[in-house]
């Protein structure tokens, strides 16, 4: 799987290649990352990739022409019969979620466009972008941090990066939030680990974890419960538990 990143700040992508569990995805070759400095595709002496917006307004707009030249270079090197999707990070985009991460993890990769300044010329977006993606309802200085978040999330799903049950139990993998976790010591600051987790009774432990996941999701993200219910992912025992706690 290959990801190409078009960015003004390629140095920001060094950390995920050198640190953390997800480094295994890069070391093993399961994921490959190619960084493309957008200024290399500017044609003037100042390596300009932005200009003032037509119609006035604050900030600068990233120019379509150097972006197109960079994208042409990426696609020439990838040499794919079906071009990889171009993803652009924008507050107007689809919210990044685990379903999209899983979709990308099952594919050949993508080209990531990291915008800066006031935005990107809309004509380039209309002509070339497959999907716009947002991390949430807030504004960042550029697309590099969202791109890093996406790369990390996809890397966790690559074979050999995590033990298989680990990512299967992550929040959102089954549409719910993951419940609370506990470790040593058994009592800390007067607070004890729930006894069922020490019982060794696997069925009771599984039920306890499922109920804590349901309760946390219902209290914090009730829309996820509604979505799970609509998709038929809640069992009769789940519904009985939710009714028993008034949720």
Q: Where are the domains of the chain?
A: 2-163, 169-244
Distance CA 201, CA 15 (A): 41
Answer whether residue 151 shows pLDDT above 90. Answer: yes
pLDDT band (50, 70, 90) for residue 166: very low
pLDDT band (50, 70, 90) for residue 167: very low
2-163 fold: Alpha/beta knot (3.40.1280)
3-state secondary structure of 123: helix
Residues paired with residue 95 on neighbouring β-strands, in sequence order: 134
Distance CA 174, CA 232 (A): 11
Answer whether residue 86 shows pLDDT above 70. Answer: yes
For the chain, give the mean pLDDT: 93
Answer whether residue 105 shows pLDDT above 80. Answer: yes
Q: What is the mean pLDDT of the segment spanning 74-91?
A: 96
Residues paired with residue 3 on neighbouring β-strands, in sequence order: 33, 110
Q: Which of 53-67, 129-143, 166-180 has the lowest mean pLDDT?
A: 166-180
169-244 fold: 1.10.1270
Q: What is the mean pLDDT of the segment spanning 215-231?
A: 95
Answer whether residue 165 shows pLDDT above 70. Answer: no
pLDDT band (50, 70, 90) for residue 229: very high
What is the end-to-end Cα distance of the chain in Å, rounded?
Answer: 42
3-state secondary structure of 44: coil
Token couple for 39 = 């200024």
Question: What pLDDT sits at residue 1?
Answer: 95
CA dihedral 68, 70, 76, 81 (to 10 degrees): -50
Residue found by looking up tokens 């992550």 in the block = 170
Other beta carbons within 10 Å of 153: 21
- 131-134 and 191-192: which strand pairing? unpaired
Distance of CA 38 to the CA centre of its chain: 23
Query: Annotated catalytic sites, by residue?
Result: 91, 118, 156, 170
Q: What is the mean pLDDT of the segment spanning 85-110?
A: 95
Report whether 32 contacts 62 (CB < 8 A). no
Q: What is the mean pLDDT of the segment spanning 21-29?
A: 88
Q: What is the mean pLDDT of the segment spanning 140-165?
A: 90
3-state secondary structure of 61: strand
Could you say which DSSP state residue 39 is in?
A: G
Other beta carbons within 10 Å of 35: 16
Token couple for 53 = 């917006």
Distance CA 33, CA 5 (A): 8
231 φ, ψ to 5°?
-85, 0
């Amino acid at each position: 799987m290959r990801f190409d990143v078009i960015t003004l700040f390629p140095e920001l992508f060094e950390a995920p290649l050198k640190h953390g569990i997800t480094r295994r995805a890069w070391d093993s070759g399961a994921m490959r990352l190619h960084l493309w400095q957008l200024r290399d595709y500017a044609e003037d002496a100042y390596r300009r990739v932005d200009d003032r917006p037509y119609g006035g307004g604050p900030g600068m707009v990233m120019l379509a022409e150097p972006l197109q030249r960079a994208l042409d270079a990426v696609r020439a090197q990838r040499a794919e019969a079906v071009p990889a999707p171009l993803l652009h990070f924008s507050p107007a985009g689809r919210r990044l979620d685990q379903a999209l991460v899983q979709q990308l993890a099952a594919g050949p990769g993508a080209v990531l466009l990291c915008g800066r300044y006031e935005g990107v010329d809309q004509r380039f977006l209309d002509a070339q972008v497959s999907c716009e993606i947002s991390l949430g309802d807030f504004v960042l200085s550029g697309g590099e941090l969202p791109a890093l978040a996406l790369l990390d999330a996809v890397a966790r799903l690559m074979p050999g990066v995590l033990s298989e049950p680990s990512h299967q139990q992550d929040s959102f993998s089954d549409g719910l939030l993951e419940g609370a976790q506990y470790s040593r010591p058994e009592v800390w600051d007067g607070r004890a680990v729930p006894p069922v987790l020490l019982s060794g009774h696997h069925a009771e432990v599984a039920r306890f974890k499922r109920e804590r996941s349901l309760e946390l999701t219902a209290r914090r993200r009730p829309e996820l419960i509604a979505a799970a219910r609509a998709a038929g992912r809640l069992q009769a025992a789940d519904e009985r538990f939710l009714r028993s706690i008034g949720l």
